[in-house]
């Protein structure tokens, strides 16, 4: 249970304090998708729609369920998709949140196309001092060759406040 206490306006007469309680923790959820097809390799890219605001100071569990897909013709030997949480307010990566979504490493064969799909959860316990905006970012890395159909999908991006 969270107890909220709101002080009166400075100089208010009478001085009235407001006290409230919440049985349900502060929480929120959204979703998003991005194509990485035209994005340069090794460039972290925001996933449109996958952005949340942690509304108040506290410790939050922030979780992004991420799916990724990549199509590689025979010219690609090594490729991977990644995801991370990024604190837009601070301009920094949320510590310990970077994940590999899918990874492919093989000897390429002409005329063979590989289609890969993977899942990961980019998650962290994150302490903030006030309202903070967090987003999910995706990245495509390819050692050589080209890829097609590269996409990062976030079917669920959510937070729950766990402590003050």
Q: Where are the domains of the chain?
A: 25-163
Quick one: tokens of 159?
A: 């937070």
Taking residues 71-97, what's their average pLDDT? 90
pTM score of the predicted model: 0.83
Q: Find where tokens 């990566």 sit.
A: 93
Taking residues 59-86, what's their average pLDDT? 89
Architecture category of domain 25-163 in CATH:
Sandwich (2.60)
- For residue 14, name the pLDDT band (cuts at 50, 70, 90): confident
- For residue 132, name the pLDDT band (cuts at 50, 70, 90): very high
Q: What pLDDT, on a 0 to 100 scale, did the predictor assign at position 71? A: 84
Taking residues 5-21, what's their average pLDDT? 81
Q: What pLDDT, on a 0 to 100 scale, did the predictor assign at position 63? A: 97
Is the pLDDT confidence value at 108 over 70?
A: no
Distances (CA, A) of 94 to 20, 106, 115, 143: 31, 32, 30, 26
- For residue 157, name the pLDDT band (cuts at 50, 70, 90): very high
**End-to-end CA gap in the chain:** 11
Is the pLDDT confidence value at 116 over 90?
A: no
Q: What pLDDT, on a 0 to 100 scale, did the predictor assign at position 79? A: 85
Q: What pLDDT, on a 0 to 100 scale, did the predictor assign at position 121? A: 94
Q: Find where tokens 């495509």 sit.
A: 140
Is the pLDDT confidence value at 94 over 80?
A: yes
- For residue 123, name the pLDDT band (cuts at 50, 70, 90): very high
- CB-facing half-sphere around the CA of 2: CA atoms within 13 A: 17
Taking residues 153-159, what's their average pLDDT? 96
């Amino acid at each position: 249970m969270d107890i909220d206490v709101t002080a009166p306006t400075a100089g208010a007469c009478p001085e009235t304090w407001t006290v409230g309680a919440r049985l349900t923790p502060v929480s929120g959820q959204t979703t998003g998708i991005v194509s990485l097809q035209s994005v340069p390799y090794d460039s972290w890219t925001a996933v449109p729609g996958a952005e949340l605001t942690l509304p108040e100071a506290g410790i939050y569990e922030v979780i992004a369920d991420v799916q990724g897909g990549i199509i590689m013709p025979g010219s690609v030997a090594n490729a991977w998709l990644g995801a991370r949480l990024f604190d837009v307010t601070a301009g920094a990566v949320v510590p310990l949140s970077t994940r590999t979504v899918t990874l492919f490493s093989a000897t390429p064969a002409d005329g063979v196309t590989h289609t890969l799909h993977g899942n990961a959860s980019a998650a962290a316990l994150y302490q903030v001092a006030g309202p903070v905006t967090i987003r999910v970012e995706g990245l495509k890395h390819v050692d050589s060759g080209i890829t097609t159909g590269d996409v990062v999908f976030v079917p669920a991006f959510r937070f729950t406040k766990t402590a003050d």
